[in-house]
Amino acid sequence: MIFNVDAISAPLTGIGRYALELANGLARHEAIEELRLYSAVRWVDDPAEALSSNRIFASLRQNLPFKTRALEVYSRMRNLLFRAHTRNLSGYLLHTPNYILMPFEGPAVTTVHDLSAFNFPETHPPERVRFLERHLPRTLERANRVLTDSQFIADEIHEKLGVARNKLRVIPLGVDGRYRPRETSSLSEAMHRHQLVAGTYLLVVATQEPRKNLVRLARAYAALPEVMRARHPLIIVGARGWLSADLERALAPLEASGAARRLGYVSEEDLPLVYAGARAFAFPSIYEGFGLPVLEALASGIPVLTSNVSSLPEVCADIALCINPLDEVEMSAGLERLLSDEEWRETTVQQGLELAAQYPWSRCVDETVAIYREVIGDAS
C-alpha cells in the first residue's frame, strides 16, 4: 500500500501525530505486505525522513507570497510527480490521512478529521478554506472509504456534504503510552527546564488560533479569585497560529502579572511530563473532530474541563467537566471547580485513566487495516 506522509511536519499537530502513529504502526503490522511512504514530492524510507523533508516544504508554503496561488501551484506539481511516480504501480491502495487525495488509479482511502474550514471559515487562513472548498468534494467522490475520528464528524460529512453512510467509517484516535501519571520526583528536570512547579498549574495545549477559544478562556481565568490565579498559573503550550490579535490583548495583563505564560512548542520528550505535572487541563474549543489533547490529559491522570459541543462529549464520555464554550461565566465557574473540588477531582482522575486505556494507537492501526481489507475485498 501507499501511505501519504505530508502531514508529518514539525511541530506535530493532531493530524501530524495521527499520520506518524499510523505510518509507524503500518510499518510493523503483519497484514501489510509492502508499505511505501510518499512525502511531499518523493518516496521516503521512514517517517523520520518525512519529518525532515516536510519541514522544508512547510517553510516554503508559509513564507511564499500570494499564498493561495502558491498552494495551488505546489499541489499541481505534487500531483504531477505523484502520478509519474505511481504510473507503473498496480495492486496498491492509497491512503491520504489529511483530507485531499492525490491522483491515483487504484482504490483509495482518505481521512477527514473535521469540517472546521466549512463551518468556521473565519478561523482559518483564507487560502486553506479556498483550497478545501475546491478540492475536498472531488476527494469525497473518488474515495472508496472516508475515515473520520468521531461519529459526530461522520454525521456532519453525511448531512452537509452528502457522502453516503456506507462509505463512512469511524476510527477514534489513540493515545501514546508516554502519557501517564508520574511521580513528582521524575518530573523535576522538565519542571526546571520550563520553570514550572508540579501540581500547581492550569495547562492548555492548543495551537493559538481562534477555534481553540483561548480568548474566552483567558477572560474566564482572569475572573477567578486572585488567590486562585496566584496559586494556579495558566500555562499555554502550542505553536503561534493565526488571527491572534484578540488573544494577545486578552493575555497581555495576565502575562504582565505573571498569572499566565506561553511556553510555545514543547518537545516530544517533555510534553508528556508537562501534562503529568499539571494541576488540571482546560480545552474549551468551539469545535473539534476528536480533541486528542483531552485524551492525553485523561491518560496523564489530570482532571479536564472541555466543551459540551462537537465531538468532545463523545470523546470524554462525561468524565470531563463539559461547559458551554461561549459562556465565560459558566467557564469561569467550571475552572474554579476544576481546580478546587477535591472529591470530584479524585473520582474523575480514576475514570479518565480507565477511559484512556481503551484507546491505544494499536487499536487505531488495527481498525484502519481492517478498512483496507474491506476496500480491497470490494475491488476484487
Q: How confident is the model at residue 107 (pLDDT cuts 50, 70, 90)?
A: very high
- The reply to whether 170 and 250 lie within a common domain is no
- 44 & 164 share domain: yes
What digits encode the pLDDT tens for the residues 174-192? 999 999 999 999 999 999 9
108 forms bridges with which residues in the sheet? 94
Number of domains in the chain: 2
Instruction: Report the Cα 109 to chain-centroid distance in Å.
Output: 19
Position 259 in a domain: yes
Domain range spanning residue 64?
2-174+361-379
Give me the CATH number covering residue 190: 3.40.50.2000
Residue 38 in domain: yes
Q: Are 323 and 308 in contact (CB under 8 A)?
A: yes
Q: Rounded distance, CA 72 to CA 83, Å?
A: 16
Hey, what's the cell of 290? 476528536
Q: Give dist(CA 199, CA 309) in Å, integer.
A: 28
Is residue 179 domain-resident?
A: no
pLDDT digits (tens, 9 = 90+) for 341-351: 999 999 999 99
pLDDT of residue 380: 64
* 25 & 54 share domain: yes
pLDDT of residue 58: 55
Same domain, 22 and 165: yes
Q: Are residues 21 and 159 in the same domain?
A: yes
Domain match, 194 and 165 both: no
Measured between alpha carbons, how far is 15 from 21 in angstroms, rounded to an integer? 10
pTM: 0.91
